[in-house]
């Protein structure tokens, strides 16, 4: 009988240990920032690669620049050569960014690091540096 009681106690101890481990994993996952959180910042245009763009548009970009600010509530603002505000979504893998403004949506391939944001579509790209 004693061997059976010890075996039952070990099974209950194992179940409890597994339950504690599962709770710790859930808490850790809930508290970990998503990689896509890096976009929540103010970004200043640093480089433009638009081979098909009109020289007037490129001059405007060069003179006025663009500053994007992305907020945690899913909204953004832009000032400079492109003025506006709207909503955005970025996937957790940080590979796609959708920007919507007044019913129009643009989708970009995106690369985000702690200091650089690169938006591209086809051969065109814009690189931004984080505002310090």
Give pLDDT tens digits for 66-87: 999 999 999 999 999 999 999 9
In this predicted model, which residue has the larger pLDDT, 12 or 72?
72
Query: Distance between CA 10 and CA 36 in Å, rounded?
Result: 43
Show the tokens assigned to 116: 């650089």
Show the tokens assigned to 62: 């060069």
105's CB contacts (< 8 A; 6+ apart) are 98, 99
Count of beta carbons in the 10 Å neighbourhood of residue 113: 10
Residue 29 has pLDDT above 70, yes or no: no
pLDDT of residue 34: 63
Average pLDDT over residues 18-28: 44
Average pLDDT over residues 50-69: 93
Residue 5 has pLDDT above 90, yes or no: no
């Amino acid at each position: 009988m004693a061997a059976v009681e010890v075996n039952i106690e070990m099974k209950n101890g194992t179940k409890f240990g597994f339950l504690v481990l599962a709770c710790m994993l859930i808490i850790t996952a809930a508290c970990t920032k998503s990689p896509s959180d890096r976009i929540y910042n103010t970004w200043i245009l640093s480089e433009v690669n638009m081979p098909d763009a009109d020289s007037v548009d490129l001059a405007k970009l060069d003179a006025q620049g663009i500053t994007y600010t992305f907020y945690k509530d899913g909204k953004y603002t832009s000032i400079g050569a492109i003025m506006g505000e709207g909503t955005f979504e970025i996937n957790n893998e940080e590979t796609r960014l959708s920007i919507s403004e007044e019913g129009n949506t643009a989708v970009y391939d995106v690369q985000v690091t702690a200091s650089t944001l690169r938006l591209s579509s086809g051969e065109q790209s814009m690189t931004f540096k984080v505002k310090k």
